[in-house]
Structures are given as structure tokens and as C-alpha cells.
Structure 1
Amino acid sequence: MRGLRAAIGFLTILPAAPQVPTAGLSNAVAWFPVVGLVLGVAVAVLDGLLMWLGLRDGVLLLLEGVLLVALLAWLTRGLHLDGFMDTCDALAGGRDRERRLEILRDPHVGAFGVVAVVLLLLAKVSALAALPGESRLWTIVLVPCLSRWAILVVMDRFPYVRQEGLGAPFLRGGSRRSLVVGSVVALLATVILTGPVGLLMGLAAGL
């Protein structure tokens, strides 16, 4: 279970693994979709509570979306938002590979990153407000799981840009095995939450 604790400690604010040996971090990758499920359930619980309080009418839907996005950002320490801003800064401001890597190492956030993350957060809030009731629960639970599973796909299919970095310890050994295990978790979650129709839609999207 050390891999699960490492995944929770890396992807969330929860102090599940304050001291994990670097050599053992590669075992954590397969657990990323499981951590995504935990995050999705937490957001779904808040969504149910807000629905019980009556925040489902008119402009209150937007307020509910803001609260759900804020909870997810807090639970994940804004890790993915920070990476998204760095990526946008590097892609928009870097003229060549060396300059882009330099921007990625810079701890400061540029104008491109700020504008991009504001638009991203607005899109998330709007999407949550527009979710229909019949598919709202499984969407909220499943999307964090599938997005963490997508990390495994990217790690398996694309080379890491640097020898050292935040993601380097997770790449050392077992990436294909982790992808298989994580894919099984994501597949089971999709079938359980959405049934065969959701699975077929996911396969069609993958094609």
C-alpha cells in the first residue's frame, strides 16, 4: 500500500505519505485513477450537500460550481492548475526548446498563464452548472478518475522533457505495467458508474 500512500501524498493535500523513498514513487502511478475516484467522491458529496441546501436554481448554480471547483483545487493543492499555467506560459512565451524549459523552471507566473487559468476555471464552473441531473453524479465522480488515468497514458506515450523534475521519480520503471493496472481501474469505474453505454461512448471517443 506504499504506492497508494505515495499517490495520495503527491496528488492531494492529505498527509498520507510524508516520507516516501524516491525509489518507490514509480509504484504510485498505478494508483492515480484510484486517487481520482476519491477526489470525485469528495466533490460529489459536496454537490449533494449543496443540492440539499437548495443551491440549484438560477445563478446559484454558478455559485455551486465555484464551490465545487474550489474544493477540488484545495484538495489537490492546485497542483494541476500550477502545471497548466506553467505550460501555457512556456508554449506562448518560448521561442525554442531551451527557452520553454527555462520558463517551466521559473517559479513566477506570466500573463499567459494567468489568463489561461482564469479561462479554464470559468469553463469548469460553466460546465458544472450545465450538467444535467441524470448524468451529474457519475460525471462528477468519474472525470477526476479519468483525468488522473490520462496522466498514465501521457507518461507511457511521450518522452519526459528533462532527466530530472517533479515527475521524474514516477517514471523510473513499470510505466507500462502501471498503465495497464490504472486502465483496469478506470475501465471498471466507467462500467460501474455509467454502464455499457458509457463504456461504448468512451471507446468511441478514444478512437
Structure 2
Amino acid sequence: MFTSHSIGRWREAFFYALMFLTRLPVGRYVHGADAQIAARAVYCYPMVGLVMGILLALAGSVFAGLGPLLAAALTLTLWVMLTGALHLDGLADCMDAYYAGHKLADETERRNRILEVMHDPACGAVALVSLVLVLLVKVAALASLWQTGHWLLALVVAPVLGRTAILPFMALGDYARGGGSVPANASASVQALWLVALICSALVAVSLGVVAAAVVFAALALLIWFWWRLWLGQIGGYTGDCLGALVELSEVLVLVLLVALCS
């Protein structure tokens, strides 16, 4: 049974998730978050996506009169600003790390090399190319959705599903580092992660329709499985960078699929 204390703890977990995944000024609502708050915050990730989606949709309504390409570019700029490029940084680190260590034959050496490069703040050529391609595809997809009139739905659905994808991914594997700001799945119930992901997916399916939802969810499931198998083989689990990169790849996939389904 929910008490005022438990409701307050969940409210703090939501604001912790919002503070962790975005640059929105909500830090004053988080008062000395502990390990339990950090673990509960994971379940709030889809809600963070919903907040972002609403803000992007509102901004898109302002930019709509500027033409599809400029509206898409300005909306994507706000999208990146809302997250502080957090997930793009994760994608860049993953790309650099993978290509730095994937050819090493020794498993321990490969794992250590990849984790070392992930931790390095420097950005290599592979990372830069990956970022350019992801942003290019995103802005092109948004411009196409603007032309077909389906941009509003996309701006809400993509951030929600991008952050919902984190939950089953965490349920599949283990955290690869000894410490960090991302809670391992030992701190969060695997069953609860799956349950929250399924509930969020069902709610999104209502807005997408049966056919579109089936296509999008099947594609996302394949992406999550591929991303999990890739890093399981490379480092035996996941890191925060892997989660951030998954958000970006999921958002790109959802936008591209919506363009294909709505054209």
C-alpha cells in the first residue's frame, strides 16, 4: 500500500531520473538520493522520455511555420540540448572503444582495452563519423515526418521508446564495471524492468496502431538483442555508454520506421 513516504520516494526517484538523463533544472527536488532512489529512477526513464517528447512537441509547434528542414534542424538542436548530448557521448565512446579493441584475441585484454577507451574523454574519427551520421539521419527523418504531417507523434514516441529500451537491455545483462552512476540490475528487479517496459510499450501501441506498433517493437527487439549480444561478447555486460548509445540508436530506428510507415 502506498504511503506518503513511499510516494515521496517515488517522486524523488522521478526527479533523479530527470536530473540524470536531462539538463532540466530539477536538482532542487532531489535531496541526497541514495542507492534505492537511484535504482527506482530506472523505472522512471520512460517518463523522462515522455517529458522530453512533450517539450519537443511544443517546440515543434513553434517551429512548424519555418519549413520542414529548418523546423527539423531546430527541433533536433533542442533535443540535443535537453540531454546535454549525454547519449550522443555514449554512442561516440562505444564506437571508439569497439574499434579500438574488438580485434584483440585475448578476452581479458580486449575487455580492458574497450573499457579503457570508453572511459577516455577523447573523441576519435570513428566516433565523429558516427555522430554525424546519426544526427544526419535524425534531421532527415524529422524533415520527412514534417512533410507528411506525422512529426507530432514521432516527437513524443521516439524519446519514450528510446528510454524504454534501456529497461529490457538492463534486464538481459550485468553491469561491466565495478562502480559508476548507473545502477546494476542487481539493484533493480528484473521482473519489474520487463513489466514497466511492457506497460510503456502497450501505451505507445495505442497511439501507433496495431500494425505500426508490431513493426516498431519487432525492430526494437532485434536492436536490443543485437546490442546486448555485441557487448556481452566484448566486455561481458554493459556500461552507461552502452545504454546511452542504445537510446540514440533506438530513437533513430523509430524515426526511420515511422517515416516508412507514414509515407
**TM-score interval for Structure 1 and Structure 2 normalised by the shorter chain:** 0.7 to 0.9
Q: Residue 126 of structure 2: which of 98, 107, 112 is its match? A: 112
Q: Residue 78 of structure 1: which of 85, 105, 108 is its match? A: 85
Question: What is the match of residue 173 of structure 1?
Answer: 188
Cα RMSD after superposing both structures: 2.0
Q: Residue 102 of structure 1: which of 86, 109, 116 is its match? A: 116
Q: Residue 23 of structure 2: which of 7, 13, 17 is its match? A: 13
Question: What is the match of residue 123 of structure 1?
Answer: 137
Deviation at 1:44, TM superposition (A): 1.2
For 1:168, what is the secondary structure of its paired residue?
coil
Q: For residues 106 and 203 of structure 1, what CA distance do their matches in structure 2 show?
A: 34
Change (3 A) 1:114 1:200: closer
Whether 1:33 and 2:46 are equivalent positions in the alignment is yes
Alignment check: 8 A CA contact 1:29 1:170 kept: no
Q: For residues 80 and 201 of structure 2, what CA distance do their matches in structure 1 show?
A: 21
Structure 1 runs of 4+ with >6 Å offset: none
Name the % identity.
35
Deviation at 1:21, TM superposition (A): 1.9
Which residue identity does 2:38 align to in structure 1?
L
When structure 1 is superposed on structure 2, of 70-79 and 179-188 the one drifting more is 179-188
Alignment check: 8 A CA contact 1:32 1:182 kept: no
When structure 1 is superposed on structure 2, of 137-146 and 160-169 the one drifting more is 160-169
For 1:102, what is the secondary structure of its paired residue?
helix
Deviation at 1:75, TM superposition (A): 0.7
Unmatched tracts of structure 1, length 5 or more: none
Superposition TM-score, scaled by structure 1 size: 0.87
Higher relative contact order (CA 8 A, sep 6+): 1
Unmatched tracts of structure 2, length 5 or more: 1-10, 105-109, 223-263
For 1:148, what is the secondary structure of its paired residue?
helix
Q: For residues 163 and 25 of structure 1, what CA distance do their matches in structure 2 show?
A: 16
Deviation at 1:185, TM superposition (A): 2.4
Superposition TM-score, scaled by structure 2 size: 0.69
Change (3 A) 1:105 1:203: closer
Alignment check: 8 A CA contact 1:90 1:100 kept: yes
Provide the aligned length of Structure 1 versus Structure 2. Answer: 200
Question: What is the match of residue 4 of structure 2?
Answer: none
Q: For residues 166 and 128 of structure 2, what CA distance do their matches in structure 1 show?
A: 23
Whether 1:164 and 2:179 are equivalent positions in the alignment is yes
Change (3 A) 1:22 1:169: farther
Change (3 A) 1:200 1:100: closer
Deviation at 1:134, TM superposition (A): 4.1
The superposition leaves residues 76-98 of structure 1 with CA deviations (integer Å, 9 ceiling, x where unpaired) of 11110010000000011124111
Deviation at 1:63, TM superposition (A): 2.1
Whether 1:24 and 2:37 are equivalent positions in the alignment is yes
For 1:162, what is the secondary structure of its paired residue?
coil
Alignment check: 8 A CA contact 1:65 1:129 kept: yes
